[in-house]
Amino acid sequence: MKGGGGGGGLSVTGKWRWRGLVIGVLFLVILSMLVHLAFLLGVRNGFHSPNPNGYVPVQHTSVSNGDNDRSSISNANNDTENDRSVHINEIVAKLAPKLSKDVLRKSTAGTENQTTDRNVMQSGQHKEALPVEPHTVLPPPPNTIDTSYAAKIEGTDVKGGINENENCDLKFGSYCLWRKEHREDMKDSMVKKLKDQLFVARAYYPSIAKLPSQSRLTRELRQNIQELERVLSESATDANLPQEIGEKSQKTEAAIVRAKSFPVDCNNIDRKLRQIFDLTEGEASFHMKQNAFLYRLAVQTMPKSLHCLSMKLTVEYFKSPYLDLERSQADKYSDPLLHHYVIFSNNVLASSVVINSTVMHSKESESQVFHVLTDEQNYFAMKLWFFRNAFKEATVQVLNIEKFSLDYYDKATLSHLLLPVEFRVSFRNVDDSSTQERTQYLSVFSDVHYLLPEIFQSLEKVVVLDDDVVVQKDLSVLWNLDMGGKVNGAVQFCSVTLGLLKSYLGEKNFNKNSCAWMSGLNLVDLARWRELDLTKTYRKMAREQVSLEEESIEAAALPASLLTFQDLIYALDGVGALSGLGHDYGLDVQTIKQAAVLHYNGNMKPWLELGIPRYKQYWKKFLNPEDQFLSECNVHA
């Protein structure tokens, strides 16, 4: 029994020893797992044991590849072998409750940066040492390039670099609104990003180059700068960039992040950034001037399609000499009992729309005679066009203005004086306490308009229409108006008096309460004009203005015209002429439909690509899109 009992006791003792052995093994396994877990967490979160000099190895904050990851693990493994207890403490700190990154950064930035800066400045033994800030924000993962990076700078979006918060003046900021309406997705965002990186790398390079211990980073920055300069010199768009540009951009970004982490002299960075900013500002100023020039060029230059139309019509005119282009209607040209309309234009399509819209709304088209005055270059194209196109029973005469005006001007000067002259004037109200300026577009007769009494000597009254107007109602009512001795029936702007335009008119004697007037739709009493000899008065004032202000004849047209017709304007208040369709985005649709005449004064003419889209429909409907020449020249207004 004892032996059996003793055997049972030994069995219990052996069992407890076996259990102790198992518990010990399990404890060692768990401890081993904790050590490896500590090691892995340290590598993952960038916790490195400090070296004797108080620095940590380089931590690449750029997008890393497999080789970089293996290098980081190897470095971390060496640090773990030196002091694993540090990692265990960091695990405890990691699992403990933390404040937010922003709060922690603010609370630790002062002491942490001061300590790190002192250590970095005192030591010259390490290579590429990088102080690690708490909770470093890592870049995007590999293969995810932020293409909107460049577009997000300065509050811009990806729609062509246009600021969404940009405020456009609805009335006079026409180009600003046009740019917003016609913006396109920026296709070269990567090129812009590379330019931004090159900008920053150049700013930091001189400061990093002064650090003796950072020769490797200096070489890396220099190499990245040279590569970006080479790429940007060969590629202006994203489509031309090499395939490996994403990797180059990431390496450059990584080098920039490392350069920013060093305590360099801020004055050097500031000085370099200012130098680059001055260069960039000069380049931006150049592009702004170039943009203004190209915009003005686009406004003043006839579109390619319209030039094609004029050339094709001219060629066709000379290919068909047997055609009786002069219709037997010469007796109507000088009949004072008919309704005579005068149009100054070098644009075949524009003058055609004016005539077509006027005839379409006329009750008696057979009594209408249109005189189109153009230059010699477009004379034959005009003649063929109006020979091929009939406008009900109206009569159209094409005149070469150069035959009437070469006694006064040479051809080079005449080309700038054919069309009405438009001015954008700014002024302040005298009674208004605010300093904000008002702006208004005014179009007046050009120097050539004052040949009207000489050209139409047998006529007593004419209606002068600009080639940028569209007629929507019958204008026969104009011929029954009694102007009471006035010479020029025009649309007046009594909100703009001559007194407000004193800076443009000079020191001449004039009635400050006289209203400014507009060309576009003008009923002219030629008999009264000849009686007062207003042509002589205008030319005298224009020459004085040119000699005193050293301006061109075209610039002198505004003050000379306003002063010539001072107190001789008959207000066409009841006609219903609406102006501003060439610059004002805020016109009411109902007002447009009810107006008798639409005037596209301003830079955005309806036949230009710059024209305001929602106003073009009132102009386009008077074109014949099936015309042979319009199709051949691809005219799509």
Q: Is the pLDDT of residue 524 over 90?
A: yes
Q: Point out the least confidently predicted range of 81-90, 213-222, 321-330, 624-633.
A: 81-90
- CA 561 – CA 488 distance, rounded (Å): 11
- CA 439 – CA 428 distance, rounded (Å): 9
- Higher-pLDDT residue of 22 and 501 is 501
3-state class (DSSP) for residue 209: helix
User: In terms of domains, do 87 and 199 share one?
Assistant: no
DSSP letter at 450 equals G
- CA 232 – CA 219 distance, rounded (Å): 20
- CA 308 – CA 302 distance, rounded (Å): 10
Q: Residue 435 — very low, low, confident or very high, per pLDDT cuts 50/70/90? A: low
Q: Is the pLDDT of residue 614 over 60?
A: yes
Q: 632 CB contacts (<8 Å, ≥6 apart)?
A: 308, 312
User: In terms of domains, do 608 and 590 share one?
Assistant: yes
Helices (H), 446-556: 452-455, 502-505, 526-532, 534-549
Q: Find the mean pLDDT for residues 145-164.
A: 38
Q: Is the pLDDT of residue 109 over 80?
A: no
Is 518 part of any domain? Answer: yes
Q: What is the pLDDT of residues 338-379, one digit of tens each?
A: 999 999 999 999 999 999 999 999 998 999 999 999 988 899
Q: Tell me, what's the pLDDT at 618?
A: 95
pTM above 0.75, yes or no: no
Q: Find the mean pLDDT for residues 121-145.
A: 38
User: In terms of domains, do 411 and 391 share one?
Assistant: yes
Which of 89, 122, 155 delimits the end of a domain? 122
Is 116 part of any domain? Answer: yes
Q: Tell me, what's the pLDDT at 625?
A: 81
Degrees to nearest 5, angle at CA 68 with 65 and 69:
85
Question: What is the tally of structural domains in the chain?
Answer: 3
Q: Tell me, what's the pLDDT at 479?
A: 92
DSSP letter at 500 equals T
**Residue 464, amino acid:** V
Q: Tell me, what's the pLDDT at 551?
A: 66
Q: Residue 46 — very low, low, confident or very high, per pLDDT cuts 50/70/90? A: very low
Which of 122, 148, 170 delimits the end of a domain? 122
User: In terms of domains, do 109 and 220 share one?
Assistant: no
DSSP string spanning 93-134?
A: HHHS----HHHHHHHHHHHHHHHHHHHHHH--S-SS--PPPT
Q: What percent of the chain has pLDDT over 90?
A: 28
- CA 247 – CA 65 distance, rounded (Å): 10
Q: Find the mean pLDDT for residues 616-631.
A: 90
User: In terms of domains, do 264 and 325 share one?
Assistant: no
Is 160 part of any domain? Answer: no
User: In terms of domains, do 266 and 351 share one?
Assistant: no
User: In terms of domains, do 207 and 84 share one?
Assistant: no
Q: Tell me, what's the pLDDT at 340?
A: 96
Q: Point out the least confidently predicted range of 134-138, 378-382, 585-589.
A: 134-138
User: In terms of domains, do 238 and 370 share one?
Assistant: no
User: In terms of domains, do 308 and 260 share one?
Assistant: no
C-alpha distance across the termini of the chain, in Å: 121
Q: What is the pLDDT of residues 251-278, one digit of tens each?
A: 999 999 988 888 777 777 777 778 777 8
Q: Tell me, what's the pLDDT at 627?
A: 87
| Number of neighbouring beta carbons within 10 Å of residue 192 | 18
User: In terms of domains, do 360 and 257 share one?
Assistant: no
Is 134 part of any domain? Answer: no
Q: Are 130 and 61 in contact (CB under 8 A)?
A: no
Q: Tell me, what's the pLDDT at 156?
A: 35
Is 131 part of any domain? Answer: no
Q: Find the mean pLDDT for residues 477-500.
A: 90
User: In terms of domains, do 501 and 628 share one?
Assistant: yes
For 213, left (φ over 0), alpha (ψ -120 to 50), or beta? alpha
Is 84 part of any domain? Answer: yes
Of 87-91, 200-204, 235-239, 619-623, highest mean pLDDT? 619-623
- CA 306 – CA 415 distance, rounded (Å): 17
CATH of the domain at 221: 1.20.930
Q: What is the pLDDT of residues 170-194, one digit of tens each?
A: 554 556 666 666 666 666 788 888 8
Q: Is the pLDDT of residue 124 over 50?
A: no
Q: Which residue, chain included where needed, has tokens 């400045």? A: 121
- CA 152 – CA 514 distance, rounded (Å): 52
Which of 300, 324, 342 delimits the end of a domain? 300
- CA 272 – CA 263 distance, rounded (Å): 16
Q: Residue 308 — very low, low, confident or very high, per pLDDT cuts 50/70/90? A: very high
Q: Tell me, what's the pLDDT at 128?
A: 38
Is 415 part of any domain? Answer: yes
Q: Point out the least confidently predicted range of 66-70, 499-503, 623-627.
A: 66-70
CATH of the domain at 346: 3.90.550.10
Q: Are 85 and 31 in contact (CB under 8 A)?
A: no
| Number of neighbouring beta carbons within 10 Å of residue 203 | 21
Is 132 part of any domain? Answer: no
| Number of neighbouring beta carbons within 10 Å of residue 30 | 10
User: In terms of domains, do 492 and 359 share one?
Assistant: yes
Question: Which structural domain range is residue 227 located in?
Answer: 182-300
Mean pLDDT of the chain: 75
